[in-house]
Structure 1
């Protein structure tokens, strides 16, 4: 217990010491600039502090210890008033003083310590007296050290007092002390007015030594200069010695006229090996700044090898030498990465949200040098609001405190900014160039930032990662959510907020509820065990390693990724049911996930496990008839302990269906019974440990169908490309041509179709025609039905390898009606899910995207616009619908498979949506995958297809916040770029340009009636029809001036004006959103005529304001802002 107390006290004193040292350093720096107090009204007419010998700072290392200088001081004063016995003379010392015998181990000045009597001697009016009955240490109200001399007898007015204090005071540590005279002060207990005095305490060497040269190029002749601050006065009889580093060869002699101090040639300059000894021509006073220059005609050359080098300077009056570094760079220039440590530096997001840049400079940087920062087009430096006051530069001298703003800032280009280092800046080589700039990045991603200086002309490129604080889109999907279920497969979906590199053995950490049972044998020491990596797939590929730990009340699964995952890359971790996981008891349980060890970036999600007591299937009896009713959808309800029921028909609930006689009736995974031939069958329905049965009777048709026989079969697709780690399966479709010229789907085993792989080690095939990749290679699938057969060629590509030949497709492009294909699935709104129609497409519904639980359907349909002939479709026409209605709380992600051979090389595949109102296909865009799939996020259900589209590539839109909106409007020919392939997103929009965009976006049609404005001649031909259409629709008006109406086509449009136009569009289409209250921080600045419009477009989610909450009604609309607002308008209109 005593030991614990001692340690606690030590820690407490250590903290106090640290605080005191920091406080002393701060106060010492402020005290170092003498405050001249005249002392009017002081108890003393004069006051001086005189050391008997030169006073030096303490704190220098000497033989493993630190020096403690104890000069003898004389405090001399003349009294202005009589001092009485009992008064106290108080001498205020500079911050940082210590004293001999201080019991505080950290050197903290304590109070009430008695100064030994043999250390004090006093003389009054020339006579030695015993004037004090006590001398003690004290502190002022501002924590300044004080020596208090308590008088035992009076001193008359006009008396001269000389207090000698020997072998007691320890001078301050030289660290953090400014190079200036130290200030002392005197007062009395009866008169607190201070009388001040300055007294010199010297460093052991000159200070602020800064060597420099006219060029830092290796091997070049240069002029040299050496700045320093003088300590003890240097007289013309004294010497200054410069020691040059190895690599600089001094000439045998040097003309004294080529070396100057303060612009005056030295009296003598002697070369002795690597030293240059100088005799000044005039005195150099204490604390003055001095400058030695050596002319380049002295033929002193820089070292030939780049690197860091050090000079030393010493004087005949100082005890020690001072050193200073400089850096030499190659003659061809260098970058900030070309330092001796090959430290490239970095840029990162600082704790305050600003960008922090840090680079180790290969050479000196000083005031007047420039720093140039280049970012990707349209990112951080495109903000013209960045000013000199927004940039902060840390001190370059290795000090803990201080910083500067640039002397000036120049914008060299939209994405390039240059600032000048302030005059007082000086960076010692080996120290870091550190500066801060505002962060203007608005999109997550990796950005290359280039930094150069005027001394390092080559650019240094460093990556900047802009990432969210936490993992994104984390969801958990157990194969069934029943409490206590065993062998449950789990799928964890997420987007990591940092890249994961397989070669670095990066991993994903999953925190599981401890109630979830994971049957792993744990090591008794580490409490960890291994799960078979083949049972844990990461994006379809077995994990490198899966380690489960259960310790300290935590259950953790660490999954090492088998392949690289980019920032925010979609990641699915699928745990097989064979891993034996057992659901917890009834309740809601939390899961969390984070990359590697970054628990601070974790995301959380929960799963509600429900208890059921039984299931019932309806109807209990099914009557089917060939040629009549040939199918029946079952509905399965689960009974819960509270007597409520839950619809568990969908396979997502792990509800299983089995027919006792599949030749009579089959049943799908979602409970659809289909008649095959006359007879009876029993359908057994199972969910968890519970089951029910349904009796099925199939009657013969009233009229026997005409006999038909199969004449040929066709398997599709003809060629299959699979990719390990990506697309690992393909469902075949087999159609039979019959003797009556009809076709029939005979894919299933019940139709008598069989499948065989030529090499099942490469690709296997199920009885239902599902091809599954096993390893890289080639196989042939033979499809047989009776005496007829067909073949399918299969190529399995290794991980990260593209397809060897373009995949073919049987997708038609004529627009003719397709055979009906569809799939429908029940989706729980809370969990979300994925619906897939093999060979056609899929839709991924995020959790809580649907307003209520319901069914989602994918259906192939005929071309809704068969007369449209301007382009040929490259995919099926696919309708995505939901029983939950048209409202979506979040965007959904649809994917469509397409025929790559139908896309010309100069075009790209893109998703289009059919707009029934205008009867046209509208461009949506999307991301193309190597497996012949286009994926896109949309905010509504509808009919979609893939068409060839032109490439709309703008050089300045990479990473721009408006890129998605610009791409979609460009695909619809609403916005266009410039001849130099730029979009210029930050350029303002004129009234004519904006009206043209809106008219094209809404497909407005003009009546042909001419428009009349006083400035109609200023309207260019491309704008006339659009303006006419907008005016006729009442969307825009002219300005009434001088009795005429003016359109002002070239005038920039303000945000308030655009809000009014967009609100009129909403009103004419009866769109009235009720999102809630709208309150911008500058709401009062919005003019009354625009207030209702701003509220309307804000409620419709067309505008959201700036990050600071303002609307900025008078700001001109940029091309990027216009693209976003118009696109959001179309979303509001469901166009």
Structure 2
């Protein structure tokens, strides 16, 4: 796997260098003053300045097993003596090292202008308590250091000894982002900004830069050991300080080890004590803070390596540091090993990079370090790279600390034409289980095929063999065929044929990637059933409207240069572009540099010159042939004919007498009663007619009449929880002595139940049990009838070993609205004594429901609540002696909904005490699955019957393990107010939560729980905001839904209200509005429209942004002069946005104004969005916006336009303009907010 450890180790160096560079640049830009240090230096307002702490200060960010990372909050003392008198109103600024933070700050970075709690600050003058400050706030220094500003409320005389005690406020930097050392603080006054500096030590909680090593890694071999590290707190033998090395469990140390066998920085240890698997050492001389240290244990100490190969942890701790440092050594077989002999069984792989280099990657089974050799051998008779290859041509990737991102070999030796050996450079160190990755210049010119390459190291002398594929640079013989080449044609089938230049594996989730011209309209949710690969249904299908890329998962392996045909049927809904020639691209597995291109020329479709309908005459007969499909054929201007029967072609049908015969939109003629009619078929300005005659039904011969009927069986016994249905059979006795089965309703047989609450009966005689009791079913045909007695028994009570202990009904409270949501399905769950739960919603389980006010609210036998009129009621739910209650409120059609309705599950019910459980544990199905994913290949991880995730090639930042797991009950986030349709599933990766390309998620859900007017939708749980966020999704079959996500997270399928806007069908912003609608960010109007072209006011847009980002409540009212004109529904959102620093007002008449009803301009909105990007540390790119009206964009918005353009949040109008002064429409706002959330991976 690709290690998170490696990223952790590289990150401090990158961040430190970045901060140092920024600080240096800012110092140049702002002419930051020179810093003085020590005491009594000229130029500063202070004679002396020192920083001390009441306890040892550690960096933050350590995991202590308590569920949180540590936030170290030391108590600091800032002591100083002013060189000159400081006046009331002066400000003393204490500058802190980079990356300090403070308690209560919601951001990752220091926030300025935040008040420091008064209780955190105490001051003394000359040792006596003295309250010196009337305000203490957070600030940023001129070179962007975090700082604290102390504003004096009184005079401080020159030479006074002042001490500021700051407690319970500052958080030290995260140790991941720092190199350990002495940190620098500075002090300056507002009257004289020349700073005076002081230093203070901050320590890691364990020794740093820890590297264990051994002379040999062979199993069961006596060897010497070496441990290098950087000292944190001073290790002084005078203080009885000790160093403890914990060897892996299972390693046996000698009973004693002589101190002479252990050298610490080249000097024999003062003492060495063996305690179990620990060796406790005391140095002979002190080891200073931040100094490098080396412990060397001679082989004479008689320590043996473990007997079995594997990865083993070696831990080093000191008596002065609170935490140990741990790293591993890989032990390999004494008979030798290869790079493929690692515990993960990763055999390694080789690929050809876009640069042409050969790239090798292996998971190392043991340490590789400076001086070790790597040998590469190609097949006999081949030439490996250029004869003049140099050490600088060998590139090393993913190194450890101290090595640049791309290092090179120390030296290289050609052992043969087909064999090279190079030496790892002086600063190289690779921990076991991490990747050895290197590149060789590719001069390996061979014919197409697969070649075995062998790699050994001086540590792993057995060869590891990996196949090298030599293939054409692009796919071969690529052609594109469209079923119709007319511009603007819809429902067009396409076929893409080529020969692949890489083998494709179905098991590995390999894909074919097709890039469409942007002008071709492709639906975003293409059904996989409409796409085939070589005649077989595609394994997966996804389309991005942003990149215009169709990714198709192959259903069967395809060899190198194998023929591939991807067929997209007309059902996929593709629409041709305007006339012209357009180019398509294809490449396998997202390897863009290997693509091939082909073009199609689209022309103008021939026009209709006439139409004919067939047949010309239709004779239908009631009781016989009652339907007839018409066929409409259009004659075209190019002399051809076209079937235009379907309404999609603009063909219209009309009947002269709909009482005699009607015709559907697609030309299906249906008889209604005896008579004649004329059907007119029209397409454009052309029409034709069809004569229709409907004859009456034949009358049965009068000699055969029904003389009676009988229903069977006469008695039906049903049992709740068991047999709950019974099909009746009805037989008619005829006058000719024969009998006829007339069970079906089509024979005129009618069924009714005397008590539908006990048992109901369908139109075709299927009896269904509802609750315990008796009922009589009456069967009628003509003037004859019969009866069936039905008895429904109650369900068996669970055996004593698994008894019911409680009952709950969800939701706990229901609000219905006449003219709106008029029904709600309850869900009833019983908890059993074995710790499991069971859904007993259906009446067949013996659950009963009743309403306290049936005038306002009724409830069906299966728990469906239905509103009747305005009012309230309590629904009582009963099951086996346990009860629960649900409060129901029905509001008038024009009333506002309550904002505090609780949709959470109801509390425990009441009932008898549970019987003791004697149930044994029943083995459960697997609840999780893991799979190693190679980033460059992608793949699919599936938890059978629950969920799966397809990771596109290149989506992961590095190789890692992807896990799919059902979240255990009690560990899942709250789903209060939502109706869950299945398990909550957590998708996780060792590479981190975010991905470079959308993941395809597929989840199974219970379709039977989706009520009328609702649909299933996929949500992910945002841990930062602690809420479920709507993703949407497409139903791919009964009980399955797919969606895309740009992060790994907890995923669930909820039932959501089916809402659609009449004016958004086919609109370019429909996909954006649907996402924000699901998140509750946008809403429609009472007439069912969205009104996409209506402008948005400042109040409306800020409310949308605040809801989308889930801004935390500030609790502070705004200070705008027009705050009374802000609508109540927007006040909190505006206050939260102001507090978050993403919205500002206008400065007029000496006061700030918000202007809530004023429309937002496009320039104003991008400035707001750019502030959000900046706060979330969104990485900038080098993409430069170049709109045709760039000069018209105000200076204050130019940088924001560039930032949002680089993140694809804005794209401008088709004519290349931005139009900064245009008012933002509802559709534009929806798209920009959607793209903002996408760039933030929300």
Scaled by the length of structure 2, the TM-score of the pair is 0.40
TM-score (norm 1): 0.44
Larger Rg: 1
